[in-house]
Structure 1
Amino acid sequence: MSSQLAALCAVTSFLWLINSVEDHQIVEQPRLSSTLILLIASFTSYAISHFSAWLPGANGRFDDELGLSSTGNKTKPISQRNLPKKPRRYFVLILIICIILRLESFHRVTADLQCSKPGLEAFLPLLIIAYQLYASPRRARTFDDEREEFTQTMYEAFSDFVAKSLYVAVISTSLLSFGVYLALTSEPKSTLFCSSRNDWAKFVVFVQWTGVVLDAAIVIIAWRILAWARTTKSRLRTLAGILLVSGLGAGLLWVMSGDRMGGDPLFWFDCVIDGLTLATLLVSSSLLAPEGGNVLGLVGVVTFITGLLISLHKVFTLGSWENVSGWATWGAVVAISVGFSLFVYSTDVRRVAFIHRSLVVFLLLLLVIAVSIFTPIKMSKGMNAHPLSKIIYDARVESDRWLIHADYSDSLPAAVREYQERNHGRAPPKGFDKWWEFANEKKSPIMDHFKQMGDDILPFWGISPVKLREDTRRAAKEFDMALLKIQNGTAKHNLPQTNPYKAVMDELVELTKDFAEHLPDFEMAINLEERPRVLAPWDQIQRSAAAGMKRKKSSSLLPGGGSRDDESVEDDMPEPKLAENADKTDMLRNAMQPDALRELTALTCPTGTKVRSGVHWDIRDFCSSCAKPQSNGQFLTNQGLSLELCHQPDLMRLHSFHMAAVEVLPFTDLLPIFSRSKTDNYADIILPLKRPSELKEPFPPKSQPFEKNQKKLFYREKISRVFSPKELLRGGQQERLVHLTNLAPFSTQKHRMLLPNAKRDKAHYREVLTAPVNSLLPFDVAFSSYSPCDITLASCPHDFSSHSIKESTTTDPFKNQYILTLDTDTGPSPLFPSVLASPGNVPFLSTIFKEWYTERLRPWVHFVPVDIRFQALHSTLAYFVGLKDQTKEHGSTDGRWIANHGARWASEALRREDRQVYLFRLMLEWGRLVDDDGGRGGG
């Protein structure tokens, strides 16, 4: 029983490690974390050695009171047990070298994980049994064996045959490894690609195999060393010494690499937890070392449990887009079950986690029968109708309900009540009556729903007016910032005639002319960059928001404008600073690197969320749990939830916004900065600020009817970056899109799509070769030019295969029925508003950004949402245009309806007048916050 407890601890700690590493930050600094974990495990093992007599299964060769060992129904002296060959003196040194090399191979593979092959680790048991067959061949049959067989029962004879048969041992281990391999290789893959121009990527699979061989060497050598330890105490201290020297060796490599020192408390906490868990795994495993050949049994049990859990998950997802191969799932379950059933007898594993092997085999038999019945039924079920038909219908119904909620009040008193109900009981600001009249005059379709504005403003209610005014001036003195001043009913800004953003601020001032007389005096710091600027920690924002929730307007609604103290606004305005005039060399030297940016972004998420708790490093496989909350099958349905990053850690390595160096550093404290767009993690206040390019283009653009446009999905992008890290070149959303839709004909990359069956009466998710499907779908996706870096500053060649990028001149996008708009490296696509306003085009929108109008648009009603992972891009386009000679056009009518409805809504809710209505209300809210007599109830 004691050895079973040790085995249970070993298996449990191993499963905990492999499942928790995905949520930990240790992969972000691999060499440092490896050093710390090994050292912590070493110290822990040494400490445990002082309590060796209390440990389960403590049975060193010369421990007191342990002169006998039970083996089956017979009792043999320990000296006669099947111990491995006695280790040589240099084995300890070899083991330490193997551990260090294994860690390095793991770091190398994870650096190019998208080039690796899944499931190779499943063949570890095969390598171990190959060694055992070579080093310790099964003993020859003797007269005693034959006499014993004569008196055995049929069951005992079968068990004895299995235990002594070389063929059964090899076959059972092979089946087990193959079944686990099948389970591990059926995961959907992400769209990150492995560049053929990356020489190192060609050796990733070789390094993977090297790592598996090193794993086998580590297990075998450690088993030989620990099995011959004189006592349990000496065994644990030997283990502690090996870990200590290995940790020091890993630390030396860390120092030589020049990697930075981690400073996040969560990183250190993860290292401590993983170090303690590793110590538990190794100590528990070392207690089983004197069991002789049982090292294969332990490795097999761990492999079995891991593979079985993955296979059962696959069974439950049969028929969904996550699992399209029923036969692979069935084969994995059968191979694992049959293989392990034979394996427990061939390796003499009596119990699996306290469960007798006979019961385990019986349960596996029941599992095989159940899966054999369930799999064909589930796979033949299919879908009678395309899910997008229902998704679009439901979206239309929900859109109608939302519009009623957004435009509920029909009078000023009703609007005041709605405001109080939606803003924590707080009364509207002074001048709200003038805003109501203005909004009605401009025929605004939205009178009550300004949730984004309320969420943006709320944290600043916890800051005093004096500090807000000081912080505004402080922010206005930074790079690419402007100061907008409202004084005595007039708006002005501080940008000189030569500033390239002057036209943008002029247009913003022009928007205020119709209502500036109703505004109090205040100043606003305007971010001129596309990239948002305020990356404040979640704890700070929550404290400020909680303080603001307690403050309510103490006076009733007052007509007219608010307080106008001429001394409340300074007369002098700071000189603006342009980043383009700064020293580029210094800016590049001091730029924030992607890993540091991701760490700051993680701090903006609530405690316990996936992004806050760890770093997503498995970029090879699709993160189903990340996409599932906002999706229906493959398809994105909840656009609002998709813009929230904290439950989607994979987006940190799938979007260029999180993967490029930042020259102008973000603010890490809560500053009142107004920006045109932001992601959910930034605390900027969104305002309707146009881009310089939008001032030059006609709006809405000229377009022809939907039917006259080409039936294509069009995308063009010009990429020009100062510096592009390798991970951005293989994983940025623009690069992934162009690569995915322009694969060479000989490419073996696969994609999962919703396709009809042979009778065309049902639809099923199927895995198909991507390249042939690309030729059947009307993709017109390319870069108009691609220059990922300035070679005068950094050597950074294109990380594209010749077939995965096609450079072309930009053509008129509005001559295509479907136009895909993607975020840039710093913000949302500037093309999207124009596409939305065109009745001849359907906008396909893929974004992580929010703008002032984001909450006014409904997915599948005004635009087609596309997940940034692109898992449903092919299925979505096939729904609208059909697949040549294979599927019908289900969504042509829906496409025309979305194009017309989106354009009509843009002409009603995204006009210049709607920007004025939004800006007027935003300025009233801000004017109240910075006014000492604004009725805040405190400060």
Structure 2
Amino acid sequence: MSSQLAALCAVTSFLWLINSVEDHQIIEQPRLSSTLILLIASLTSYATSHFSGWLPGANGRFDDELGLSSTGNKTRPISQRNFPKKPRRYFVFILIVCIILRLESFHRVTADLQCSKPGLEAFIPVLILAYQLHSSPRRPRTFDEERDDFTRTMYEAIPDFLARSLYILVPSTLLISFGAYLALISEPRSTLFCSPQHDWARFVVLVQWAGVVLDAAIVIIAWRILAWARTTKSRLRTLAGILLVSGLGAGIFWGLSGDGVGSDTLFWFDVVIDGLTLATLLVSSSLLAPEGGAVLGFAGVVTFITGFLISVQRVWTLGSWENVSGWQTWGAVVGMSAGFTFFLHATDIKKVMFIHRAFVIMALMAVVIAVSIFTPIKMSKGMDSHPLGKLIYDSRVESDRWLIHASYSDSLPSAVREYGERHYGRDPPKGFDRWWEFAKQKKSPIIDHFKQMGDDILPFWGVPPAKLREDTRKAAKEIDMALLQIQNGTARHNLPTENPYQTIMDELVDLIKDFVEYLPDLEMAINLNERPRVLAPWDQIQRLAAAGMKRKKASSLLPGGSSGGSEYGKKDMPKPRLTEAVDKDELLKNTMSPKVLRELTSLSCPTGTKVKSGVHWDIRDFCSSCAKPQSNGQFLTNFGLSLELCHQSDLMRLHSFYMTPAEVPPTTSLLPIFSRSKTDNYADILLPLSHPPQTTPLTPPKTPQPWSKNHQKLYYRGSISRPYSDKPLLRGGQEERLVHLTNLPPSSTSTTTTRLILPNQSRSRAHYRSVSTPHLNTLLPFDTAFTSYSPCQQTPSSCPLDFHHLTSSSSPPDPFSNQYILTLDSSTSPSPLFLPTLSSPSNVPFLSTIFKEWYTDRVLPWVHFVPVDIRFHGLHSTLAYFTGIQGQTKEHGSTDGKWIAEQGAKWAARALRREDRQVYLFRLLLEWGRLVDDGRDEGGFKISSS
């Protein structure tokens, strides 16, 4: 009973560790984490030794209890005959060295995890078995054992044969390991790539195999050392000493690496929890050490449970894009079940964590029968039609409902009532009637739906007006900031003529001039940098936003001026500072590293979310749980949710925004800063602002050629410049991943595959199938490349050869001559090409982004544009729907593409005009003017009862 309890604790703690690492902060500082976890486990093991009287084996020698000198057990299984030899004195030193080397190999592999192979750890039981078979020669059978074989019945002889036969133990262990391996390699891979020209990539798998061998060696040596301890107390203290010295040795590597010390409270919490869990695993496992075959039995049980749980989970995804290898999943379940059945007999394991092996075997038989029935049914079911057809149709219906919701009000009184219902009972700001007249005059299709604006402003209701005015001046003094001032019906800014951003502010002032006479006096700090600027903690935002949700009583019936506005003319406008004018050494000194940026981003997420609780480190495999909330298979169904980061921790390693240094670090205080774009975690206030002159996109021709005349291609061109990044090539950057994924040539040795929807032979149903990505690229019309890649030009020796042929100094072709144009983020901002593409009736924008702009919530996916997940796992399937494969156009896909192009252009001409920017800006300035007014709580606009 005690050994079963120890086994249960050991297996449970192991499973908890391998599943929780993904959600913990320790991966950000792996060497420091390893050192601390080993030290905590050492102290815990030593403390546990003081309570050894409560644990099994505390009252005498374990070897005496086992009766190792006895020869009377005639049917003693292999597991008991394989009790280890007495260890040498130097074994402890070898074990410590192996532990330190294993940690270093783990750190090296995780640094280039995309180059590693999944599932190799499943073969640890095979290595342990090989050692036991080599070190334990078969004992000659005695005369009594030979005689007993003739007197036993067949039913009595079979269990003894299974328990003694090497011919059963070897294949059963192989079946368990290979079945677990099949389960682990069936996971879809992420699009983060491993370049074959990368020097270290050639050795990652070799180091990974070395780590597996070290794992087996650590288990075997530790087993030999701990099994020969006299008592439980001495065993635990030996374990504590090994962990202590190993932790100190790992600490030396941490000190040499210069990783620094973690300052996040959550990091230290995770370290303590993982240290205690590791101690539970090691202490529980050490209690099993005296049992001769426990080391192989435990390794086999853990491998089986891990692989079996993954396989059963994979059964439920049969037929989906995540699992196109149904028979591989079936083979893993059947192989592991059969192997484990014989393994239990061969190792003489009577119970598996309190469950008798007979019940375990019956349960496995039931699972095998169920999976054998379920697999062919599920795999043959398929789909009646392409899911994108239904998704586009449903989006059309939903767009009609959305437009009604966005422009529900047909009069000023109804608009006032609707405003109160959508803004926690608050009245509109003063001047709302002027805005209503302006919006109607400009024929704005959006009257009521300004959710993004409301969400942006809401937290600032918790900040007093005087502080908002003070913080505005404070923010305006930062790098790449401008100040917009409205006073006495006149708008002006503080940028001089020679400033490169002057045209942006001039255009902003020009947008305001048509309604500036109706605005209160106010000032606004405008962010001219491409990156957003306000990354405040989530709890601070929520505390301040709570004040904005409280209903404010209105005492004023008519619009009026701002009581606090007169002070704006009392101060000279601050002189702007630009990054171009700042000393480069000073700029580099203040640049925020990607690691720090990711840590600050995690603080902007609610407690319990993926990004808040840990760092996604498994960049090799696709994170299904990250993409599933907003997706139906490979396709985005909730575009708005896909822009939220906190449940998508993998995006921190799949977008260059979080992987490159921030030359202008964000502020962690809630400052009132207005920006062109932002990600969901930032608290900047969005406003319509033009792109800088150097990033001004091409404009579509005034008379676009017909849809049918354009090339049926998906076009993308990118220009990469990252002067402050220490990584010339970001293998996880969205731009690099796209160009690499879509340009793998047929001659490539890459084993990358893509899941694609293809019809069966009768073309009556469709199924997901796995296709070689290099081959698929020749069948789909991709036209993606870089026009320049400056990091490779700066350090050509550190860039792989396969990226040089993807760049060209020649002028790129006209993007608007293609039917489909992919608009993709840069490392700092969204693509400026989206709106020009949207406004053309001959082009369909494929939008892949994590950024929001002022118009984001008024353009609808699958109606005005085609959304593409930033992971690109559905890119090939999406393009294949619209263009067909091998040039054979699917009629419905081409028709849908043309319809989306036309709908996007019509909507852009209705809702994304210059006039619509003015309507949005007018309302935003009224809202902001009220917030900075000392009398903002005294009332807003209200229809007079008379």
Please, what TM-score do these two structures have when normalized by structure 2?
A: 0.96
After superposition, give the CA deviation of every residue in 1:191-212 in whole Å (9 maximum; x if it has no partner): 1111122211110000000000
Q: CA deviation at 1:588?
A: 2.0
Higher mean displacement: 61-70 or 769-778: 61-70
Match of 1:814 in 2: 816
Aligned mates of 1:804, 1:214 — CA distance in 2: 41
What letter is aligned with 2:133?
L
CA shift in 2, pair 1:803/1:526, >3 Å: closer
After superposition, give the CA deviation of every residue in 1:457-503 in whole Å (9 maximum; x if it has no partner): 00000000111111100000000000000100110000000100000
2:634 maps to 1:634: yes
Query: Among 892, 895, 899, which residue is 2:894 paired with?
Result: 892
Q: CA deviation at 1:702?
A: 4.7
Aligned mates of 1:673, 1:721 — CA distance in 2: 25
Aligned mates of 1:906, 1:71 — CA distance in 2: 89
CA shift in 2, pair 1:56/1:321, >3 Å: farther
Aligned mates of 2:64, 2:351 — CA distance in 1: 26
Aligned mates of 2:451, 2:71 — CA distance in 1: 71
Aligned mates of 1:72, 1:41 — CA distance in 2: 40
CA shift in 2, pair 1:820/1:75, >3 Å: closer
2:833 maps to 1:801: no
What letter is aligned with 1:814?
F
For 1:223-302, list aligned pairs within 5 A: 223-302=223-302
Aligned mates of 2:702, 2:166 — CA distance in 1: 76
Contact 1:407 1:445 in 2 (8 A): yes
2:761 maps to 1:758: yes
Match of 1:198 in 2: 198
Tell me the SS of whatever aligns to 1:291: coil
After superposition, give the CA deviation of every residue in 1:351-398 in whole Å (9 maximum; x if it has no partner): 112111111111111111111111111101110101100000000101
Tell me the SS of whatever aligns to 1:444: coil
Contact 1:28 1:615 in 2 (8 A): yes
Match of 1:448 in 2: 448
Match of 1:382 in 2: 382
Aligned mates of 1:508, 1:294 — CA distance in 2: 74
Match of 2:737 in 1: 736
Aligned mates of 1:454, 1:799 — CA distance in 2: 47
Q: CA deviation at 1:790?
A: 6.9
Match of 2:934 in 1: 932
Aligned mates of 1:395, 1:102 — CA distance in 2: 52
CA shift in 2, pair 1:208/1:638, >3 Å: same
Match of 2:438 in 1: 438
Q: CA deviation at 1:259?
A: 1.2
Match of 1:427 in 2: 427
For 1:338-349, list aligned pairs within 5 A: 338-349=338-349
Tell me the SS of whatever aligns to 2:271: helix
Match of 1:843 in 2: 845
Q: CA deviation at 1:690?
A: 0.7
Q: CA deviation at 1:811?
A: 1.1
CA shift in 2, pair 1:208/1:72, >3 Å: farther
After superposition, give the CA deviation of every residue in 1:155-204 in whole Å (9 maximum; x if it has no partner): 33111111111111111101111100000001100111111222111100
Tell me the SS of whatever aligns to 1:363: helix
What letter is aligned with 2:29?
Q
Aligned mates of 1:157, 1:467 — CA distance in 2: 87
What letter is aligned with 1:897?
W
Contact 1:730 1:799 in 2 (8 A): no
Tell me the SS of whatever aligns to 2:937: coil
Higher mean displacement: 160-169 or 529-538: 160-169
After superposition, give the CA deviation of every residue in 1:723-769 in whole Å (9 maximum; x if it has no partner): 43449521110100000111021333211111111111111101110
Match of 1:529 in 2: 529
Aligned mates of 2:627, 2:88 — CA distance in 1: 52
After superposition, give the CA deviation of every residue in 1:211-236 in whole Å (9 maximum; x if it has no partner): 00000000000000000001000000
CA shift in 2, pair 1:359/1:697, >3 Å: closer
Aligned mates of 1:128, 1:180 — CA distance in 2: 16
Contact 1:656 1:732 in 2 (8 A): yes
What letter is aligned with 2:377?
I
For 1:21-32, list aligned pairs within 5 A: 21-32=21-32
Contact 1:24 1:267 in 2 (8 A): yes
CA shift in 2, pair 1:35/1:545, >3 Å: same
Q: CA deviation at 1:557?
A: 4.3
After superposition, give the CA deviation of every residue in 1:850-874 in whole Å (9 maximum; x if it has no partner): 0000000110000000000001111
Which sections of structure 1, spanning at least 5 residues, go unmatched?
Answer: none
Q: CA deviation at 1:549?
A: 2.2
Tell me the SS of whatever aligns to 2:767: strand
For 1:469-618, list aligned pairs within 5 A: 469-550=469-550, 552-559=552-559, 561-563=561-563, 565-618=565-618
Contact 1:59 1:290 in 2 (8 A): no
After superposition, give the CA deviation of every residue in 1:865-901 in whole Å (9 maximum; x if it has no partner): 0000001111111100100277734311000000000
Contact 1:85 1:224 in 2 (8 A): yes
Q: CA deviation at 1:145?
A: 1.4
Query: Among 761, 771, 777, which residue is 1:768 paired with?
Result: 771
Tell me the SS of whatever aligns to 1:935: helix
2:34 maps to 1:34: yes
Tell me the SS of whatever aligns to 1:821: strand
For 1:23-102, list aligned pairs within 5 A: 23-56=23-56, 61=61, 83-102=83-102
Higher mean displacement: 569-578 or 675-684: 569-578
Tell me the SS of whatever aligns to 1:768: strand
Match of 1:830 in 2: 832
Aligned mates of 1:202, 1:310 — CA distance in 2: 29
Match of 2:861 in 1: 859
Q: CA deviation at 1:798?
A: 2.2
Q: Pairwise CA RMSD of aligned residues?
A: 2.2
Contact 1:756 1:887 in 2 (8 A): no
Tell me the SS of whatever aligns to 1:766: strand
Aligned mates of 1:130, 1:554 — CA distance in 2: 82
Aligned mates of 2:83, 2:879 — CA distance in 1: 63
Q: CA deviation at 1:558?
A: 2.1
What letter is aligned with 2:532?
P
Higher mean displacement: 621-630 or 581-590: 581-590
Higher mean displacement: 151-160 or 752-761: 151-160
2:707 maps to 1:706: yes
Contact 2:57 2:231 in 1 (8 A): no
CA shift in 2, pair 1:333/1:696, >3 Å: closer
Match of 2:351 in 1: 351
Higher mean displacement: 551-560 or 874-883: 551-560
Tell me the SS of whatever aligns to 1:818: strand
Match of 1:207 in 2: 207
Contact 2:789 2:807 in 1 (8 A): no
Aligned mates of 2:840, 2:210 — CA distance in 1: 56
CA shift in 2, pair 1:569/1:339, >3 Å: farther
Aligned mates of 2:2, 2:569 — CA distance in 1: 77
Tell me the SS of whatever aligns to 1:678: strand
Contact 2:534 2:683 in 1 (8 A): yes
Tell me the SS of whatever aligns to 2:263: coil
Tell me the SS of whatever aligns to 1:505: helix
Aligned mates of 1:95, 1:459 — CA distance in 2: 56
Contact 2:626 2:647 in 1 (8 A): yes
Tell me the SS of whatever aligns to 1:850: strand
Aligned mates of 2:622, 2:135 — CA distance in 1: 41
Higher mean displacement: 64-73 or 398-407: 64-73
Aligned mates of 1:685, 1:755 — CA distance in 2: 45
What letter is aligned with 2:842?
G
Contact 2:700 2:837 in 1 (8 A): no
Q: CA deviation at 1:258?
A: 1.2
Tell me the SS of whatever aligns to 2:845: strand
Which sections of structure 2, spanning at least 5 residues, go unmatched?
Answer: 941-946
